[in-house]
Amino acid sequence: MGFYAMKRSAHGGRHLLAAVASAALAVSGLSAVAATAQETDTDQPSSEPAQIQEAVLTELTKSGEATFWVHFDARPDMSQFAHIADWDARGIAVYDALTSTADAAQADVRSELDGHGLSYETYWATNAILVEDADADVVQDIARAPGVEGIYGTFAYEAPETKPAESEHALNAVEWGVRDINADDAWSQGVTGEGIVVANLDSGVQWDHPALVNSYRGSSGGTVTHDYNWFDGTPDKEPAPWDWDGHGTHTMGTMVGNDGGSNQIGVAPGAQWMAASTDLTDASMFAAGEWFLAPTKVDGTDPDPTMRPHVINNSWGSELPSNDPFMEDIIESWHAAGTFSVFSNGNEGPGCATSGSPGSRILTYSVGSYDSFHSISGFSSRGPGQDGEVKPNISAPGSAVRSSFPGGQYGTISGTSMAAPHVSGAIALLWSENSTAAGDVAATRALLDGSAIDSEDLQCGGTAEKNNVFGEGRLDAYQLIFGDEPPVPGPAITVDPSSIENSQEADTTTEHTLTVGNTGTEDLEFTITEVEGSGAPVVALPQGADRSHASAETDGGPSAPAVVEAAEQLQAVASLTEGFDDVNTLPADGWAIKNNSEPVGATTWFQGNAAEVFPSHEGAPEAYVGANYNNAGASPGNISNWLMTPELDLVNGSEFSFWTRTVANPADFVDRMEVRLSTSGASTNVGTGYDGVGDFDTVLASVNPDLTATGYPGEWTEYTVSIEGLDEATTGRIGFHYWVPAGGPLGNNSNFIGVDTVSYEAVDAPPPVPACEVVDAAWLSVDPVAGTVAPGGSQEVTVGLDSAGLAEGEYTAALCVESNDPVNPVVNVPVTLTVTDDAPVEPALVQRISGENRYATAAEIAAEFPEGVDTVYIANGTEAADGADALAAGAAGAKGALEFIPDVTPEGDPAPILLVKNNQIPQATAGALAALDPAEIIIIGGTGSVSTGVEETLGESADVRRIAGADRYETAALIAAEYGSVETVYVATGQGDMDSGLALADALTAASLAGSEGSPVVLTRSGSLPAATAEVITELGVANIVVIGGTGAVSDDVLAQLNELAPTERVAGANRYETAVALTAGYGADADMLYIASGTNFPDALSGSSLTGSQSAPLLLTRQDHLPAAISEEILRLSPQGITIFGGTVAVNTDVEADLQALLDTTSTD
């Protein structure tokens, strides 16, 4: 376990205790069980002793005593706190649950330890006790104690060795990583992280560093206090923040650093910071993690959960690939408290499945590293992680990151440790601006995922949008904050495209992709139904209706004391206000009255009586509605009198309020009123008999339900109820039910109540969900027809259009996409099929020839050669070989087999180049050889490049010949010698490698041109002409020599030496890209095909040079992430009808592909 920094200045950091290689795995027993979210009954005796880790038993045998962890299985349900909106209350609730659970679970064991006089430390966040120097009897007793899950050994870790790193960038006020994620653009909008507190669990922080002192929470307000802001988990227990390594000061600087001048190193300079230091022992890590949940004073007293940080950066993890659940219970507790934790993904790249724990875990949000060219850092660990989870989750700047160092200095480090704080700072910016997202870990993860810049790299699996190299893509802080609204609670559907249109001939089938996405926070479930048009209506979403108010002033009155029916309403109302100025007008306004009292009395609901009883709540003194004991015709009787509102729009969350009172409290005669709900539209069915309720079967409120003398208010009192629990929006009425059966408690019925100021307001209701009309369109198919999409994810659906048997014309239909999105439950995608007589013109598309690695790409290129390949060239494709052998073979491969190969025509056929490792034939290469079945194989290079074992294996299926010199120059010369005699020879530098490229790019493009002319390429040193090169040029009897590249590649001295052998000219541009343009100057316009290769990532292009030469097709170079201007101009001049890229998106990314497509759209005429 260590910090994830690759290179940093040496500052005398101390070394920690070394650990065995399996340390992280050993600790897993302590944390794995802690990840369960269930309460455990510790009062029940264990059926058998808890497990004791072998390391503890070994220590007991060796020393007679052992120091160990006792872990308990009790754990509160951590999902119960997410609904708590108040930040302070949420933190307190989590703290109380964890501490009370641990206190109860640990009580018996603590008591036993006290009895033995042993020293121990308790930990409530992970529910464990660290016991010191206990003997075997104690260990066995504890193992049998109730609630003990297991006993585990302790471990300590060693920080990784570090080295200085050179910055790749000139100093700039705003550091490159901060600019790259567009954090400075967020600053321009006034978003700097104010109000947010970030933290790191690291090696400590120099608190008074010029770039950090002003943002330290402990120094705000003009005074300095380290209470609640600093925890020292090292043995030193320093009272003020310090840094024993430099790593923590650096990561904190990337989060918040700013000296107010030329060192704007932090993403969120307006945020405040706190910190915890660790010496990387398990006890230190657990204590620090616990402290973040409830920070304390420096002396460890007075824990206060309200002082916890919003974001915790964790630039540490296992140094070996691992999915071990270390500290997972503590991390889960952070999230439960609303604190977002960010983790580095590890520095074990470039292999797949190299993520370190905890970053590899599903629970954590981990960060990979890329450089300033947006290429993934070679050291950045790749996924997949736990259970195939895509890892990292996102990537951020991590190569050559400049930030603060102890001593008030600044320095540069590389590592995923440097990438993670960019994300932590971006979250601080987001939460500062978006209070809705603050504390919502799931929603913030979805926002990070959705705003990331897609970065395709499929070498470890995944998709262009989400893969195990970049994760969701590159961090974009501005898009994170301003790009989209916060994720919609629940599922939220997106469908792309919004319509599908296609023209095709009769009796043909085409396929199209419909993508169903989910921008919400819960799983989206969808189904797709075909709905035929042209006679069958397409289901459309209903349009919202204009809402009217219920208040009206018209005359009318009850027709009888018992039943007053409401006038017919044209539609339900969404808003109701009633002050009862004239009760006689209620029926005309939609109100209804029904007196079901037994026997029915002389009165029903009536106008208020201010003179004799009490005045109204508001308005005119008698402006309220009343009911009294005379509702029943006898005493004692059964009073059951109903006053029903107009028909209302009923929507969950809507509120209904009213005021009511009786004559006095306490009352001599008691009253009771129920408020009941009917969801049956305009129905006024209240059943029969005094105890019937009919359709009004839901009680919303009851005033004085127990019929007590003090239960009904004697003054006007407001009651408010909420409509909840509806399956969907509907209509219905609310009824006031004056209900005092059997004469009430005293047997003489009731007294008098009034109701006033009734109000109802429906919240905006979602439209009713229309059912998809299932009418099969025979020419339209969908696969799959249903699916589930996780938050932030998407699923592709294949839509088939089959014009078999269809007459010429236009056919319309729709795809009806139904889902559990509560806001947008039905989405219709119109589909139009046009059947024509003529085949549509197919647009020219940029093609890509690539495999999952350089060997597979070479095989794919070989498959593009015409049938009947006689010869194959074999070269070493590893980085150590630098590609020089394959490069020299490119021109020869374009010509085909050379004359010394038996049984081959003198002119030969084009020959592909395949790549091998020194002592291994990759599977892709073996497959390509089997498919090509060549008669001859030419190995380029000596046994140091391609071993005799590989040669023997190749010889089992073909005649094998090796061309090898003492070095790359002599090998190229030997290949050129086989041409016999030529008019022209091309000379390029052989100095360079696959990392720097240097002038190897010149030789690469020269191989393509030379191959098309049947000319060889030989190599030279930059400052001197190798003897082998001079000799072969002389032997070939060339008439002219073409030097490729500028004087930095081939010096004027070498040019002069060549000129003595034959007339020599130089073809060069200002850089490798312009040199490639100069080499294609002889190609005319309207080429059938143009090839594009990376100017920095050569293996794919090396294999492609023989193909381009054999087709006499131009080859140009590009940068990985953008197309140089000179290349764009040359493409327009060449006006190709097709463009093919060599290699995957690691070599040439999708942005370049899009630019090439735009150019091809301009140049192609087919």
Q: Distance of CA 126 to CAs 198, 329, 902, Å?
A: 22, 6, 75
Which tokens is 850 given? 């690539």
For the segment 270-299, what is each residue's pLDDT rounded down to a tens digit?
999 999 999 889 999 999 999 999 999 999
Main-chain dihedrals φ then ψ at residue 754, nearest 5 degrees: -125, 150
The CATH architecture of the domain made up of 563-761 is Sandwich (2.60)
Instruction: State the pairing for strand pair 493-496/509-518.
Output: antiparallel
**Both tokens assigned to 261:** 């001048």
Cβ atoms of 26 and 153 closer than 8 Å = yes
pLDDT, residue 543, reads: 19
* Residue whose tokens read 């294996």: 953
pLDDT tens readout for residues 419-471 = 999 999 999 999 999 988 999 999 999 999 999 999 999 999 999 999 999 99
To the question of domain 176-483 being in CATH 3.40.50.200, the answer is yes
User: Do residues 1109 and 1005 lie in contact, with contact meaning Cβ atoms separated by under 8 Å?
Assistant: no
Site of tokens 């990583």: 177
* C-alpha dist (Å) from residue 657 to 661, 698, 723: 14, 16, 11
Mean pLDDT of 304-324: 91
3-state DSSP assignment of residue 1066 = strand
Judged by average pLDDT, the poorest of 129-133, 201-205, 857-861, 1032-1036 is 857-861
CA distance 178 to 267: 6
Within 13 A of 659's CA, how many CA atoms are on the CB side? 18
Range 51-80 average pLDDT: 93
- Contact status, residue 192 vs residue 257, Cβ threshold 8 Å: no
510 forms bridges with which residues in the sheet?
801
Nearest by Cα to 1021 from 1000, 1037, 1042: 1000
Residue 1004: the pLDDT is 62
Distance in angstroms (rounded) separating the CA atoms of residues 341 and 293: 12
Mean pLDDT of 563-574: 70
- Residues belonging to the chain: 1166
What pLDDT is recorded for position 809?
Answer: 87
Whole-angstrom distance, CA of residue 961 vs CA of residue 937:
6
What are the distances in angstroms from CA 286 to CA 23, 233, 593? 16, 9, 68
Q: Which residues pair with 1090 in a beta bridge?
A: 1139
Q: Are 948 and 964 in contact (CB under 8 A)?
A: no
Q: Give the model confidence (pLDDT) of 489-517 as tens digits.
A: 789 899 999 889 999 888 899 999 999 99
**202 in catalytic set:** yes
pLDDT tens-digit readout, 668-725: 889 999 999 999 999 999 999 999 999 999 999 999 998 998 899 999 999 999 999 8
895-922 per-position pLDDT tens digit? 553 433 333 323 456 788 888 888 899 9
Backbone angles phi, psi at 1128, to 5 degrees: -60, -45
Reported confidence tier of residue 44, pLDDT bands at 50, 70, 90: very low
Report phi then psi at 172, rounded to 5.
-145, 145
Residue 1000 to residue 468: CA distance in whole angstroms: 31
Contact 471, 381 (CB under 8 A): no
pLDDT beyond 70 at 550: no
Does the structure show a pLDDT above 50 at 11? no
Catalytic residue selected from 71, 209, 226, 247: 247
Joined together, the tokens standing for residue 910 give 């084009």
Given the residues 31, 73, 180, 202, select the one marked as catalytic.
Answer: 202
Rounded-to-integer distance, Cα 509 and Cα 274, Å: 63
Q: Is the pLDDT of residue 631 over 90?
A: no
CA dist., res. 562 & res. 203, Å (int)? 82
Of 417, 616, 1008, 1012, the active-site residue reads 417
The closest alpha carbon to 1134, from 1088, 1074, 1089, 1085, belongs to 1085
Cα distances from 216 to residues 60, 226, 272, 958, in angstroms, run 46, 9, 6, 72
What is the distance between the alpha carbons of residues 73 and 36, in angstroms, rounded to a whole number? 8
pLDDT at 880: 57
Is the alpha carbon torsion for 957, 961, 963, 964 positive or negative? positive
What are the boundaries of each domain within the chain? 20-153, 176-483, 493-542+769-836, 563-761, 848-1163
Which pairing describes strands 717-722 and 655-662: parallel, antiparallel, or unpaired? antiparallel
- Chain centroid, CA 969 distance in Å: 49
- pTM passes above 0.75: no
- Burial of residue 167 (number of CB atoms within 10 Å: 0-12, 13-18, 19+): middle
Mean pLDDT, the chain, whole residue set: 83
CA distances from 446 to 362, 461, 560, 886 (A): 14, 21, 62, 46
**Count of CB atoms within 10 A of residue 956's CB?**
7
In this prediction, residue 838 carries a pLDDT of: 64
Helix H or strand E segment including 631: none
Beta strands in 61-186 (DSSP E): 66-72, 120-123, 128-134, 148-153
For residue 948, report the phi and psi dihedrals to the nearest 5 degrees: -65, -30
Q: What is the mean pLDDT of residues 233-250?
A: 94
Report the DSSP pairing between strands 752-761 and 730-740. unpaired
Cβ atoms 506, 838 nearer than 8 A: no
pLDDT at 381 over 90: yes
Specify the higher pLDDT residue, 145 or 907.
Answer: 145
Residues paired with 341 in a beta bridge: 312
Catalytic, 310? Answer no
Q: Among 7-11, 241-245, 845-849, 945-949, which is the least confidently predicted range?
A: 7-11
Which of left, alpha, beta for 346 (phi over 0: left; psi -120 to 50: alpha)?
left
pLDDT range class, residue 1119, cuts 50, 70, 90: confident
- State residue 194's pLDDT score: 94
Question: Sorting pLDDT into bands at 50, 70 and 90, what band is 15?
Answer: very low
| The pLDDT of residue 1102 | 58
The superfamily (CATH) of domain 493-542+769-836 is: Immunoglobulins (2.60.40.10)
Confidence of residue 592 (pLDDT cuts 50, 70, 90): very high
Residues of the chain above pLDDT 90, percent = 52
894 CB neighbour count, 10 Å cutoff = 27
Of the candidates 573, 526, 906, the one whose C-alpha atom is nearest the C-alpha of residue 758 is: 573
Q: How confident is the model at residue 21 (pLDDT cuts 50, 70, 90)?
A: very low
In this structure, of 30-39, 524-533, 750-759, 1024-1033, the range with the lowest mean pLDDT score is: 30-39
Is position 247 annotated as part of the catalytic site?
Answer: yes
Count of Cβ atoms closer than 10 Å to residue 836 Cβ = 14
Q: What is the pLDDT of residues 153-199, one digit of tens each?
A: 987 654 443 334 445 444 457 899 999 999 998 998 889 999 999 99
pLDDT tens digit sequence for 69-122: 999 999 999 999 988 989 999 999 999 999 999 999 999 999 999 999 999 999
- What pLDDT is recorded for position 22? 25
Helix axis angle for 23-32 and 328-336, nearest 10°, is 50
> Cβ contacts of residue 745 below 8 Å, gap of 6+?
670, 707
d(CA 76, CA 88): 19
**CB contact at 8 A, 913 and 932:** no
Work out the average pLDDT over 748-765: 88
Mean pLDDT, residues 617-641 taken together:
91
Nearest to 267 by CA among 394, 411, 170, 401: 401
- CA distance linking residue 862 with residue 1142, whole number of Å: 12
- Is 640 in contact with 691 (CB distance < 8 Å)? yes
Residue 411 CB partners (closer than 8 Å, separation 6+): 8, 9, 164, 246, 250, 402, 403, 405
pLDDT at 19: 25
Q: Does 47 have pLDDT greater than 90?
A: no
605 in the Ramachandran plot: left (φ > 0), alpha (ψ -120 to 50) or beta?
A: beta
